[in-house]
Structure formats: structure tokens, C-alpha cells
Structure 1
Amino acid sequence: MNAPTDSAIAVDVYRQRRARVLAALRAAGGGVAIVPTAPEALRNRDTGYPYRHDSYFYYLTGFAEPDAVLVLNASATSNAPDASNAPQSILFCRAKNADREIWEGFHYGPDAARDAFGFDAAFPADALDTEMPRVLADAGSVHYLLGASADFERRLGGWLDAVRAQARTGVAAPHALRDLAPLVDDMRLVKDAHELAIMRRAAHISALAHRRAMQTCRPGVREYELEAELLYTFRKHGAQAPAYGSIVAAGANACVLHYPAGNAIAQDGDLILIDAACELDGYASDITRTFPANGRFSPAQRTLYDIVLAAQQAAIDATRAGVPFEAPHDAAVRVLAQGLLDTGIVPKARFSNVDDVIAERAYARFYMHRTGHWIGMDVHDCGDYRERDAARDASGALPWRTLQPGMALTVEPGLYVRAADDVPPEYWNIGIRIEDDAIVHEDGCELITRDVPVAAAEIEALMRAA
């Protein structure tokens, strides 16, 4: 089990998060929130995939074992004789089992988990069907991640049926099912100091991995060999796993946005695009760099690379508190569109200026994704990109979310030029993406992934020094 290794478990951090959820539920009239962790999954026959907890569950508990459920009881009433003593924060987890630990290693068990992670109460996981009808009695409403798990919803239905069966005794079943995700998503969007410290460390490890890949690259290397260097560096420096499937693309493969590392051989003159990063203690990083297999950009490669780098800088300059989420994307698109016009990749005979290129989305053939996404516990982290409760504009769209201090997002423009008759041949099969992770501050943003060079000359110097 690849559990986070935060040796000094931040009990207060997780307790405070649970308290915020409980307070929000009480403000909304009470109720019970239920958050199960992720199930284990078989890879084949009796071999499982490496276990990874559910992000919502871990955010509120810090507990990384499987077969666990968090219950937060903010009911306005309670069946307990003294409602003030009713447990509000309850963990269900695996019972201690000495025989199982011989095979799997240490598990906390309910008593140790309650004390170590700061819960009011803890029970064995096999007590769920007995305890949950008691907790849900007279609860009013149930809050959970709607639609996330059909198996969980079936089990919840059984608990609700058990409560309804007590109707003649005066017990009322919950009358509303509500989605817990918007509440926790808004919490997760703004990172606290505990989270940011882990994310900075994850970013540093990922940057070391990219440096190693650059320094070991040479014509003749296979994509999977570079992937191996990345994975080695992640684990060597304490990360538990990759944050996502590593993209290592040589030559024309870089024009495939989610190309998995394969067995293609890097040729002299190819660019290598690597989009890869680690997960550390439950938090993702996300870095993309593009560099020449032989250590030197060709003139055409350098031209496009500098356009993408300038687009990224424009997006970085636009990333600060108080601006819409879309502002960095708009800034990057303008630079990319002008670069496509200047190089003739978008023909000047059809477009007289950059505004025309943008208005007709002529750039989208070569830049088909957005400039960033939220990042945190998930590499594409939770949270709305538009203001959920705002008025819609004339087109019916909600306004973009306003960036706030403590939000974290990627900045990742790119250009992908496939071979085509209407494109100058010197630019054929060049794919370039440059991506960094940014933390929003009042007056700008902090790039936490710049321990690996990004300027073309600095990349070339690093590769020469290898």
C-alpha cells in the first residue's frame, strides 16, 4: 500500500477541516455527511493495483488505508441521551488483524486511528450496517458525493431503508440527499500552508526528474528509457508514485497530446516532450518541458519554442488574485496567435492581423487545449472554473471564477504542428509544451517548478554539462 509518509501527522489540520464542514452543515440546517475512501481494485486475478486513497476522504482525514468511511454528524437532533456528547467525527476502518498484518503490514485499527487522527469515535468497518442507521435516524439530510459510486449509493439505500422501518417508533428517515462536493471543492481550491509545503516539495522532486531526463537524453535513446529515469528520481526522493501517466514523446509523437511513453527511438534532430511529475503525500505536481534530443534546438524549433515560452510568460504575468481564471489563457492565446501569423503557419494572405486569427480561432488547429487547470490532491484538481451562483451573461455563460490567494493552477501553453501541405515544411512534426505550477498571490504568482530550466539557452547548457 503506497500510503503517504507524512511522519508528523497534521492532526489539527484535518480536525479543523472537518470542523469547517460540520459548521457549514449546521448553518444549512444540520445533517450527516458520509465520505468513503476509494475501493481496492484488482489488476488481474489476485493481484491488485497499488492502492491510492480517495482525495476527498484523505483531505478530511489524513487516513490512507482502504476499507474506511468518514461520517460527520451535524444533526440538529440525536438519539443519544445527551446530544452534546454524541460523536460528530466518526471513522470506520479495518479492525486490527494480526494474521492479515503478516501479509500486508501495519494497520491502525479503530482505537489507534481514533487517537492518531483526532476522531471523536471509531468503529470497525464491518459495523457500518449496524451503526449507520442509528446515525441517520432523525438526521434530516444526508450529504455525500452524488454519483461518485453506485456501490456506495446502494449501501446508503439499505441504511435509509433500515431507518424507514423504524417509522412507527417515531424515528424519521432523512428527507433530503445533497451533494457534498461543492462545499469541499471550495475548501480544497484554496490551499493552506500544510498543503503548499507538500506541493513545493513535490514540485522540486519532479523538477529533479526532468533535469535527469534532459541530462541522460541523447539520440538513440528510447522513450521508455527516459520514463525510467523519471520514475527512478521520483522514488529516490521519496515520492510515492507518478501523479499521472508519464508522457514522453519523441519527434512527431509530441503532437499527440496524451501520448504515453512508448518504444520510439529519439532521432538526431528530434524534440522530446516530457509531461511528467510525481505525487507526494497525496499531492500532485505537473511539469512539461520540451528539449532537443541532441542538445541543440534547430532554428525552426527555437523559433516555435520561443513563441511558446513568450506565451507562457504572458500567462504568468496575467496570473494574480482578482483576475478571472480565463485571463492567463487569453494572454497566452494572443502571443501564440501572433507567432503563428509571423511564421506563416497561419497564412497572412487569409488573416490580416492577430485579432482576426483569434476571432476565427485559426490558432486552435495548432493549440487545442486550455492554458491551465487547478492542481492539488488531484492533478486536475476539483473546483468550478466558473462562478456557480453568479448571473449569466448575454450568451448564457457564467462568469469565470476570480483567482484568489492560495489557489494553485498550471500554466501550460503549447504549439503542435503536424505535417500538412499548407504549413511551411520546416515546422512539420514539431510539438512543444511548457508547463509550470503556480500558486496565486495578491500581486502575482509563485512558480514552484522552476528548479528545472525553461529558457532554451539554459536547457542547452544543462544538456552540454551532462
Structure 2
Amino acid sequence: MRAIVPYTAVLFLILFTISSFRLSNDTPQDHLPAAFHQERRNQLRKLLPPNSVAVFFANAVRNRANDVEYIYHQDPDFYYLTGYQEPHAMLMIFSEDQKNAQGEVYKELLYVQPKDALREMWTGKRQGVEGVKQNLGMKQVFNNTDFTDASIDFTKFNKVFFLPFHNDVRDEENIKGDLYDLIAQFKQKVNYPADYNAEAHQLYELIQQSKADKSVNAAQTIRSYQQMNERLKEDKILSDYAQAQDEKTREEIAKQVPQININGYALDGMMNTLREVKTQEELKLLRKAINISAVGQIEVMKAMHPGMSEKEVQGIHEFVFRKYGAEFEGYPSIVGAGNNGCVLHYIENNKTKLENDLVLMDLGAEYHGYTADVTRTIPANGKFTKEQKAIYDLVYKAQEEAFKLCLTDSSVQAPGRVARQIINKGLKELGIIADENERHLYFPHGTSHHLGLDVHDRSNYGALKPGMVITVEPGIYIPDSSKCDKKWWGIAVRIEDDILITEKGYENLSKMAPRKSEEIEALMAKSSVLNKLALPKLD
């Protein structure tokens, strides 16, 4: 006898289908297209050596407290290659076409979480297999529970590439095919050693690839790695090879290197190569994220007053982000007034009154996966003091000179070197340091990192190329009790802009937010609609 579906269940499914259809038409339509992700997979395939496969896993679901999870954020590499933003998924990309038992040819496989009406009622719509095929343009898509029985012979590949595993993946006991299961089954299928160390196996390959007359260089490299990672000294093969005194001994030790086809480090370099140069589709989203962040800086400049708190400043920025549809902050927001600004990654943001301090604001909106990174430093009362202005204008000068080295074929370190020279000279002229070559902590960081899906984005950090986006962020930080005149204490300034490398030079993508001290003071003199917002007082 055919089971009768309860009326309530039918009604729920109808309403769920209708609401899902309605939501699909009310969501942003400017995400990266499926063709972008397909092309990125094609480009990765070109980097893979013959007879190899690259395996990627979605980000883990992470617990916040008890039965509350952190808002889910997809792994940037996984998103870059698929556009899929749900957890418990796995992607395989093959260097050459494969053929299944039915004779069908394929070159990629994607395993995703299945449709589940009851779970979707609690945690939101899932695309499922058919949704992914339709929305993301992938053909070989399966439920994650199907990977258990997948007849993939990983031993036939010369190399099986994957990214290092993390130890924060929980086993969802009541969910089959979750990320925990996918990783465990993958490890079983590839005979993943229990004591696998990606860095050690990288050095094993170095040994195998080094000819006898080059083995002394390989041994020196291993010793260098062992100095940075004590665990590598526990590996007998590496230690014996590193300490061997002649080529013949090293040649004999090389024969002991285990033959293994899995590789947990080389895929990093391939993804660095792919992601460091942005496509036009990516730049469109990056520009949006950066412009949103610049508007946030502008609105705070108009609204700021000495009685405001760091949290309130943070809130205005993040309100602007949400107003424009940014899903996340690209990193924890930094709002540091006075001495708090001297803590480079200060995120407590708990000072209740800004008073007459300088306020360092380092915040970036994340829009459809791409994040800005914009910093401005402004006086809470709208006017720089003499000392504040001196430090601010010095940082501005250093940044202006650093921009000039944001050129094709220049190194990513070049802007920082010139910025440091200018800042050191200026600090000496102000009497804060005694000599330009003096070692100090007033400028303790570099100026530039790549920007994209990550705030510190993937790159091989070679010569700059058109399409790369980097930051330029010189700064001066003078904490209380520094060894200089007390009038400088508690002054912290960082100015950070997002720079696109072009064929003919560079473009400052965040130029909308004022940088000159005079421009900042002029903008802060204007009124803000936010000053009219009056909320009831609470005990």
C-alpha cells in the first residue's frame, strides 16, 4: 500500500518551494558567474603535472558556543574554483580526462551536501546536486554520502595533491557524509600515513630530485628547515641525510626515502600563482568592497566627536558595510584611539570615550568573497595637534613615495623600503630617534601584502604584475613610556590604501577616502545625519 503523505508535510514542501523561488529573485545578482569558476579550474588543470589530481575540501563548520555555530564562511580556494558556499563538500580536479564504469568522460568531481527539507527549515536552503548543476554549471556532481562508495583508484596517479589539513573539523555524529567523513574516507582511499608530515615529504622530494653533485645543497636546505621546525629533527632520514659528509652516503640514504604519491604542500604554490593576478570579474568585486570601505571612512569622519566610543566608530563602519550589501568584514575591525592604536591588531575596541586622541581605523568590507583593507587615522575632535600633524604628515609623505614604486616588475618589498627610509629620516629630524640607522619599533611592519579573497591574499611574492592588488600601509606608533619626549606618547598613525598594479603604473582604488591632513579636517567639519540619531538611555 502506498504511504500517504500528511497534509502538513505537503503544505510545508509547497511553501518551502515557493519561498525558495521568491528568495532566489531577491538575492544579489552580481556574484561571480559560473564561467569564471570553470575557467579557474581550467587554469589550475594546466598547472597540474601529468597523471595527477588536486583535491579540495570546503571549510569546516565551527562552533561558537553550545549549539550555536559561527556564521559559515567558505574556504576561499574552494569558492574560487566552484562558487559553492555550503559546507561538507569536496572537489577533485584531474589533469587529464577520466572515464567512469559507464564509459562517461569527466575531468572534475564535486561532492555536496544533499537536499534535506527538514534541515533546510532550520538552517536555510541547500542547492543539492541538481541546484549545483544548474547554478554552477558543473556536470559531475554527487551527494557527499556517495563518496564512500566512489571507485576512484588514487594509487594510479603519479601525484595526489591536497592542502594541509587542520585539526578543528568536528564529527557531526548524526550527519553522514559530513566534512569529517569526507576527510577520513579520502585519507583511507589514498593510504594517508598516520604520521604524515607535509614539510618532511617536501624535503623527501628534494632529496629524490637532487643529483649526487647537488646533494650537498639539498643537505644544507634540510638543515635550514630543521632550524625553523624542531619536529623535522626527529625524522631519521632527513637528519642522517643532512649530517652525511659525502655524496655516496647521501646517495645511499636517499634510497630509504618512502615512495608515496600524495603531496600536501605543492598545491599551495599553484593556487598562489592562480590567485595573485586578478581577472576583470574579480576587480569589479574588489572595487565594490573598497569603495564601500571608503564610504565607511568618510561617514565616520563626518560623525566623529570626542564623546564617541571605539565600539560606536566600529558600528558606523559596519553599518555602512551592511547598507551596501557586504556580507562580512574581511577581518576583525580595528579601531584604536590614542595608545590603543599602537597595538597593530587591536580588536577589543572598548575605549568608551575618544576624547582628543588620534583614532586609527583599519577596517575592510568583504563583498561577495573579496575584501578591502583601508586604514585612516583622524583626530577625534576634528583638529590635529602640532605633534599629531607632524607624525601624520610624515606617514603621508612616506606613503606618497612608496606609491611610486608600485610598478610592474618592481618587488612587493620595494614600497616598504623607501617608506622606511623616509620615516627614519623624519623621526630623526623630529628628535624621536638619534640616528636614521637606529633600530627601533616605531615602524615595526612592512607596507605591502596582496589583497583579494583573503585580506593577506595568496601570492608567490615575486615581481609585481598588472592585475595584482597590494596594500601600501606605512605607519608610526609611539606607545606610552617610549624613549622620546613625552609629547609624542600615545600617537599612532597608519594610512593604508589598496593599489592596483597596471600596465602603465598603478591605480589607488581607495582614493575616495581623504588622506591629506587638511582634507580630513575639512571633511570632519561637515555635519552628519548620524549626529541626529538619538536612542533612549539604558541603565
Distance 1:177 1:79 in 2: 24
**More deviation in 292-301 or 264-273?**
264-273
CA distance in 1 between partners of 2:411 and 2:400 (Å): 17
Aligned position for 1:144? 162
What's 2:494 paired with?
433
- What does residue range 365-404 of structure 1 map to in structure 2 within 5 Å? 365-385=441-461, 401-404=462-465
Letter in 1 for 2:163: L
Is 1:415 matched up with 2:434? no
Q: How does 1:269-280 map to 2 (within 5 A)?
A: 269-280=356-367
Mapped to 1, the partners of 2:42 and 2:260 lie a distance apart of 22
Q: Distance in 2 between matches of 1:78 and 1:198?
A: 37
Partner of 2:377, secondary structure, is strand
How is 1:107-186 mapped onto 2 (pairs within 5 angstroms)?
107-131=126-150, 133-134=151-152, 136=154, 138-148=156-166, 154-161=184-191, 175-177=261-263, 179-186=266-273
Q: Which residue of 2 aligns with 1:15?
A: 38
Judge conservation of contact 1:80–1:86 (CA < 8 Å) in 2: no
Q: Select between 32-41 and 190-199 the one with higher mean Cα deviation.
A: 32-41
Measured in 2, the distance between the counterparts of 1:161 and 1:344 equals 63
1:52-451 counterparts in 2 under 5 A?
52-75=73-96, 78=99, 80=101, 82=103, 85-131=104-150, 133-134=151-152, 136=154, 138-148=156-166, 154-161=184-191, 175-177=261-263, 179-347=266-434, 351=435, 354=436, 357=437, 360=438, 362=439, 364-385=440-461, 401-420=462-481, 422-451=483-512
How much does 1:13 deviate?
0.9
Letter in 2 for 1:41: R
Residue aligned with 1:87, SS? strand
Cα distance, 1:252–1:139 mapped onto 2, change above 3 Å:
same
CA distance in 1, matches of 2:474, 2:365: 21
Counterparts of 1:174 and 1:123, CA distance in 2: 28
Letter in 2 for 1:303: A
User: Does structure 2 conserve the Cα–Cα contact (< 8 Å) formed by 1:142 and 1:174?
Assistant: no
Scaled by the length of structure 1, the TM-score of the pair is 0.86
Q: Is contact 1:6-1:281 (8 Å) kept?
A: no
Closer, same or farther: CA 244–381 of 1 in aligned 2, 3 Å: same
**1:156 to partner: Cα distance:** 2.2
**Deviation of residue 220 (structure 1)?**
1.4
CA distance in 1, matches of 2:433, 2:519: 29
Structure 2: how far apart are the matches of 1:314 and 1:261? 33
Taking a change above 3 Å as real, the CA distance of residues 81 and 99 of structure 1, as seen in their structure-2 partners, is closer
1:157 partner letter? K
Equivalent residue letter for 2:186: L
Deviations 1:134-189 (A, max 9, x none): 26362332111134568675442212249xxxxxxxxxx98343531111111100
Q: Tell whether the 8 Å contact from 2:377 to 2:495 is kept in structure 1 after alignment.
A: yes
Is the CA contact 1:221–1:266 (under 8 Å) kept in the aligned structure 2? yes
CA contact (8 A) 1:77 1:139 kept: no
Residue in 1 that maps onto 2:537:
none
> What percentage of residue pairs aligned between the two structures are identical?
32
Given that 2:412 and 2:449 are in contact with CA atoms closer than 8 Å, whether structure 1 keeps it comes out as no
Secondary structure, in 3 states, of the residue corresponding to 1:34?
Answer: strand
Listed one character per residue, the Cα deviations across residues 36-84 of structure 1 (whole Å, up to 9, x for unaligned) are 11011111111110000000100101111111111112357655464xx
Q: Identify if the C-alpha distance between structure 1 residues 54 and 5 changes in structure 2 by more than 3 Å, giving closer, same or farther.
A: farther
Q: Which amino acid letter does the alignment assign opposite residue 261 of structure 2? A: H
2: distance between equivalents of 1:121 and 1:148?
Answer: 27
- The 10-residue stretch of structure 1 (291-300 or 258-267) with the greater mean CA deviation from structure 2: 258-267
CA–CA distance in 1 between the matches of 2:32 and 2:367? 14
Q: In structure 2, what is the Cα distance between the partners aligned to 1:9 and 1:444?
A: 27
In 2, distance between residues paired with 1:8 and 1:326?
A: 33
Deviations 1:379-414 (A, max 9, x none): 0111232xxxxxxxxxxxxxxx21111111110000
Q: Which runs of 5+ in 1 are unaligned?
A: 163-172, 386-400
**1:147–1:46 Cα change, 3 Å:** closer
Report the structure number with the largest CA radius of gyration: 2
Query: 2 CA distance for matches of 1:40 and 1:368?
Result: 35
- Contact map agreement 1:160 1:174 (CA 8 A) in 2: no
- Return the offset for 1:230: 1.1
**What is the rounded CA distance, in whole Å, between the counterparts of 2:342 and 2:31 in structure 1?**
43
SS at match of 1:63: coil
Give the AA of the match of 1:98. Answer: A
SS at 1:432's partner residue?
strand
CA distance in 2, matches of 1:181, 1:383: 9
| Equivalent position amino acid for 2:187 in 1 | G
Change (3 A) 1:106 1:303: same
Change (3 A) 1:125 1:421: closer
- Is the 8 Å Cα contact of residues 106 and 140 (structure 2) preserved in structure 1? yes
Output the CA distance in 2 between the equivalents of 1:32 and 1:373. 30
- The AA in structure 2 aligned to 1:299 is K
Deviation sequence 1:279-315 (CA, Å, 0-9, x none): 0000110011100000000011001100000011111
- Provide the residue aligned with 1:395 in structure 2: none
Residue identity in the other structure for 1:216: A
